[in-house]
Chain A
Amino acid sequence: MSQPAEPGLSAVAIASPAAWAPAEGRGVRRLVPESWLQAFIWVLVLVAVLAPVLPLVYASVQSQPLYTPGRVFTLAAYRQLFAAPAFRTAALNTLEFAGLTTAFSVLLGGGFAVLCGRTNVLGRRVYARLFIVPILLPPLGLILGWNALYGPGGYAHDFVNQTLHIPFDLTTVPGMAVLGTAVAVPVVFLVCRAALSGIDSALENSARSAGASPLRALARITVPMLRPALLNSGLLVFTLSIEALGIPLLLGSPQGHDLIASYLYNTWSSAITPDPPVVSAGATVLLAAACLLLLLRSRLLGDQARFVSVGRPGAAAGDGVQLGTFTRVLFGALLALYLLATTFAPIAALALSSVVYQLTPLIAPWHLFTLSNWRMATQGVFAHSIQNSVEIAVVGAALTAAVVALATAVAHRSRFALRRSVPFLLLFPRAIPGIIIGIGFFWTFLLVNPPGSALRNSIWGIMLALSIRSVTLAYFVMSSSFATVSESLDDAARSGGANWWTTMTRIVLPILRPALFVSLILLFISILNDYDPALFLVTPGHEIMGVAMLDAAQQGTTGPVAALAMVQVAITVVAIAVGGRLFATRIRGSRHA
């Protein structure tokens, strides 16, 4: 290279300017200015996010349902709501449920994160993966599994209550909070582990050198540094807990222990006059509470906390605090016991109850073996709901992944004037409780027609509601991966003549293909297993798995529901396996880089 080939060089030099000076004349074809494209994406996101909210708030201050003529503005619905003793009871129950769930899950999730992330506890790498499982599993499947195991008449109910002498009733508010904790622990665990990976293990090592015992170093150095992460995850869990619907609907509600969400749902479905404004008022109150909590959270934690679920795996943490042999085995065994009791035993119970007439500790299950549950689960409404759910999840995940990817590009890789509002819009759906998206879209489809009734009378309305609920999840994945692609790659494309759209679709998004796959898989799982918004939108013939299961379970059908839940678990596991393989190829690919 120090001696360039002279003849070739000159030949190109002469040929070059005249023959290949294209840019000014031919230019780059441009159908729409880039700011229009960006504005279109922005409006799309804005409409999608506000669609379920505005009609709901409007419906809550009307005297009649929105389709009735002669409505007037009134606050009667709110007066009626706050006057109802049942609502007040439900509100108090909700506070108790959310408070207990938050306290338990912060304690356990934080502790587990410290043990797995900072000590040599036995099996810590395996546990670190297994702790995330409850997030990925269908929530209804987990609830049904818990009910089959610990519920009244459940397999382990007598063992817990009579042999262990723990008075445990899954249908009371504290009982439901224990299940809520099992679901929420992974959230705390993930947030804390991400925070831990950013803390230099030299800090603990210094404490050890200064004479602190391993556990003392953890308690005095590590845990205090986790305080922001604990606060962050605690607020998040509290916010998610106040909107819990499946747990009270299946467990507490039949025994008269309602939470707000189940109270609203029951009021809606059993009202004498259909679609009463009081439900809209209650939903608006719940929405306001959730928004306030998330606002408080971002106030307390500043900007970066919103992205905290994104970890830095492999950050040089060293081996962390070395526990003694006895301690590390003891804690390892306790972790195994926890995972068994909260996750794997319930799923096993669910699987078992899907192949027996009745799951009872009084008769050995092989005497009750049957395949009729599975036959029922693969016929009629159930079979149809499986097909609907998969269709919704596939199409919804693809559309959501695409829209969120483009919206993230507008937010982080454009000069669009309103780009800073995009992250807020994409984070907002996280603040909207599921049933509110359901009720909201119910009104939206009535008000905006077309396409309202077409959406209402097909599975696509449900798809829209479930997709919008998952937008935030996709944004977490995309925003963190956009940050890993240097903007100099965009700059190179721009100065090479590519406009914004071409730069995004041909350079940046193709580089982010692995992240797009990850968000696609996560969206698929999330949309497949979600059900709260659909409860208000399902019309006959357009059932989805979650709603079909809830309906059947409320009527006392257990076997076929368990079978259907196992189908949901199976599809989820397949999706994770496919996703896992993609993660693996991604890792193999990046090893070359």
Chain B
Amino acid sequence: MPEISVQGLSKTFGREHALYDVSFSVRDKEFLTLLGPSGCGKTTTLMSIAGLQRPDEGMISCGDRVFFDRASRVFLAAEDRNLGMVVQSYAIWPHLTVFGNVAFPLKIRRMGKDAARRRVLEILELVEMAGYAERYPHELSGGQQQRVALARALVYSPAVLLLDEPFSNLDAKLRERARTWLKHLQSELGLTTIFVTHDQDEALSLSDRIVVMNAGAVLQVGAPEDIYHRPRTRFVAEFVGHCNVLAARAVAATSSGSTKLALEANGRPIIVSGEDLAAGDQVQLAVRPEAIHLDDHDDVAGGNDAAGENSYPAEVRAVSFLGDHYLYELDLDGLALTVTDARSHAGPAVTVRIPPSACRVLSS
């Protein structure tokens, strides 16, 4: 299956910039997710790839087939792109049975009746809906409708599978199962897949790579771990998972490639490793709540204080119990900090330690 390439895509609705210079590519057999809040342009991007919306600028190609090219005025109609699509509402045609829905694309392609029948039953088997061929859509549950939509999108072996928030109409339990199942199916069939979601858990668990979008622009492209651990901007840091963002000023470089900074909120020193900074730089540091270590105050008083880098006394403002962990809201000399920890701490006085490698400098 070929590679999809999206270059310099722009689109405006009236004066609104729906897309602004969006570029990325999807590799063969890759599961790529467009992640962002609603209105960020991810669905517009997907619809442009599908041919259901026409961008103002840019180029979209799939292998050596050009789908859209503003410069040479190419616009391939949606029906000629051979893509499979599943949308949030599933868009199952209510007047056709499950079989009729799945067989429709094959009829369009003039496949012989027997071959089409075999193929439809095969694909229904694949999505575990073989027993429902003669049912009408209104007789199916949400999860079943979703699998019919998927079968309908897969039956003609499309070049690429496009998924627009396919899980958002399922309840939480079902959604998790459907997620696992889809990921399994995708990797088994080696489907090149573009997936649109606003749910970061979905994006992190399913994707080979994630494209984070906001306000019509691409902010960062990378593997889930990359996006999570090395967010490049404050938006990415805060949208994907929870994050503490600390304002700081670089003071001086230390010996081992680390930099010493001062926190804006309280002037405390903080060491950051693996970042290239010059003295005087005003920066923002991203620190994940689970990367911060939390100790009871007494443990530290035993002498750990001097040795530990980035160790600070703090006060517990609020604790929430979340099942497998606790969520602490701390006050570090006027700096609000969120920390998660599996252990329960009596408080109110605790010691926090921020590992230098857990701090990411965000670009402004």
Is chain A's binding surface mostly helix, strand, loop or mixed?
helix
A590, closest chain B residue (CB): B138
Q: Give a binary string over A1-29; 1 marks a CB under 8 Å from any B CB, 0 the rest.
A: 11011001110110111001111101111
Q: How large is the interface on A (under 10, 10 to 19, 20 to 34, 35 or more residues)?
A: 35 or more
In the complex, are the beta carbons of A496 and B177 less than 8 A apart? no
Out of B47, B87, B143, B158, name the residue touching A492 (CB < 8 Å): B87
In the complex, are the beta carbons of B81 and A495 less than 8 A apart? yes
Docked CA distance A507–B91 (Å): 11
A508, closest chain B residue (CB): B93
B110, closest chain A residue (CB): A26
- CB neighbours (8 Å) of A34 from chain B are 77
- CB neighbours (8 Å) of A16 from chain B are 157, 189
A327 at interface by CB-CB < 8 Å = no
A14: min CB distance to chain B, Å = 10
A8: min CB distance to chain B, Å = 6
Docked CA distance A27–B79 (Å): 9
In the complex, are the beta carbons of B122 and A12 less than 8 A apart? yes
A587 at interface by CB-CB < 8 Å = no
A497 at interface by CB-CB < 8 Å = yes
B1, closest chain A residue (CB): A17
Docked CA distance A492–B138 (Å): 17
Q: Give a binary string over A475-517; 1 marks a CB under 8 Å from any B CB, 0 the rest.
A: 0000000000010110111111111001000110011010000
A497: min CB distance to chain B, Å = 4
Report if A494-B125 is in contact (Cβ < 8 Å); known contacts: A16-B157, A20-B119: no
In the complex, are the beta carbons of A511 and B79 less than 8 A apart? no
Within 8 A of B (CB), among A549-585: none
In the complex, are the beta carbons of B109 and A22 less than 8 A apart? yes
Docked CA distance A16–B111 (Å): 15
- 9-residue interface stretch from B18-26, B180-188, B267-275, B298-306: B180-188
- CB neighbours (8 Å) of B184 from chain A are 4, 9
- CB neighbours (8 Å) of B89 from chain A are 486, 488
B138, closest chain A residue (CB): A593
- CB neighbours (8 Å) of B119 from chain A are 20
In the complex, are the beta carbons of B138 and A496 less than 8 A apart? no
Report if A499-B94 is in contact (Cβ < 8 Å); known contacts: A9-B185, A9-B188, A493-B104: no
- CB neighbours (8 Å) of B104 from chain A are 493, 496, 498, 506-507
B153: min CB distance to chain A, Å = 7
Docked CA distance A517–B85 (Å): 32
A592 at interface by CB-CB < 8 Å = yes
In the complex, are the beta carbons of B91 and A12 less than 8 A apart? no
A6: min CB distance to chain B, Å = 9
Docked CA distance A20–B80 (Å): 16
A-B contact pairs, 6 of them (CB 8 A): A28-B80, A492-B85, A492-B152, A496-B79, A507-B95, A593-B138
Q: Give 14 new A-B contacts, CB below 8 A, not counting A497-B156, A510-B95.
A: A2-B180, A9-B185, A9-B189, A12-B125, A21-B157, A22-B111, A491-B47, A491-B85, A491-B87, A494-B77, A495-B85, A497-B109, A511-B93, A511-B95
List 10 A-B pairs, minimum CB-CB distance, nearest first: A23-B82, A496-B105, A492-B91, A494-B78, A488-B91, A495-B85, A593-B138, A497-B108, A20-B157, A13-B189
